Amino acid sequence: MSETKSKRPRRIVRVMDLADDPAVWAEYDAAHRPGGVTQAVLDAQRRHGIIDMEIFRAGNRLVMLMQVDPLFDGDAMDAEKAADPAMAEWERRMGTLQRAPLADGTGWPEAALVFRQSDHP
């Protein structure tokens, strides 16, 4: 691939585990229903180039699929979240439901692509 950034949207897959407690799973699900996510968070996601985001849950495992525009900058969005009290509170609240970050210290690490069917004859 070229050194220059693609002008097409790209997909990012991230993973996270919740605490191993069905009551926590229910609370997480409820928090993410329409009207549950803080508007400041939704606005920041859109402003920073997240075109669409979906989170799937299987037991305590979460998988996030994001379609982002070529200018998406996760670090800039994280900095804004830390500086905005409403977004920081949302992050704190969701953090109480999640397991400790992975060994590398990241909370929602990006998953590495290991298989693409279209790459195989």
Question: What is the domain range of residue 75?
Answer: 10-105
Q: Per the domain annotation, does 113 fall within a domain?
A: no
The CATH number of the domain where 34 resides is what? 3.30.70.1090
pLDDT in tens, 28-38: 999 999 999 99
> Whole-angstrom Cα distance, residue 22 to residue 86?
26
Query: Residue 5: inside a domain, yes or no?
Result: no
The whole-number average pLDDT for the span 19-25 is 95
Global pTM? 0.85
Q: Where are the alpha helices (DSSP H) in the chain?
A: 22-31, 39-47, 74-83, 85-95
pLDDT value of residue 81: 84
* 81 occurs within a structural domain: yes
Quick one: pLDDT at residue 22?
97
Q: Look at residue 119 and tell me if it is in a domain.
A: no
120 has pLDDT over 90: yes
pLDDT at residue number 105: 60
- Collapsing DSSP to helix, strand or coil, 35 comes out as coil
Residue 34 forms part of a structural domain: yes
